[in-house]
Amino acid sequence: MITIEITNLDELVKEHRGPLSALLGKLVTDVEGEVERIVMNELREEFEKRGIKANMTSIGGISFRRHMST
């Protein structure tokens, strides 16, 4: 299993939707869900190009905690 945390959500949405649409979209849509769709589509396209067969699933409701060592 691979877990990826995308940390620049707003930048990705702006890049794929445009700045105005991204700004308005934050008010009415799930930005994390939108980024998941963007990333999954890009992964799917790249996998197809390389002949990789994979099943992808988006699972909501998972929360990660970051632990910082001192």
Q: Is residue 13 one of the residues assigned to a domain?
A: yes
Q: Is residue 1 one of the residues assigned to a domain?
A: no
Q: Is residue 40 one of the residues assigned to a domain?
A: yes
Interval 20-38: pLDDT, tens: 665 665 655 677 788 888 8
Cα 32 to Cα 34: distance, rounded to the nearest angstrom: 5
What total number of domains does the chain contain?
1
Q: Is residue 63 one of the residues assigned to a domain?
A: no
Q: Which domain holds residue 21?
A: 9-50
Cα 49 to Cα 47: distance, rounded to the nearest angstrom: 5
Q: What is the pTM of this model?
A: 0.62
Q: What is the largest CA-CA distance in the chain?
A: 44
Q: Is residue 61 one of the residues assigned to a domain?
A: no
Q: Is residue 46 one of the residues assigned to a domain?
A: yes
What value does the mean pLDDT of the chain take?
A: 77
Q: Is residue 23 one of the residues assigned to a domain?
A: yes
Torsion of CA 21, 30, 45, 17, to 10 degrees: 10
Q: Is residue 67 one of the residues assigned to a domain?
A: no
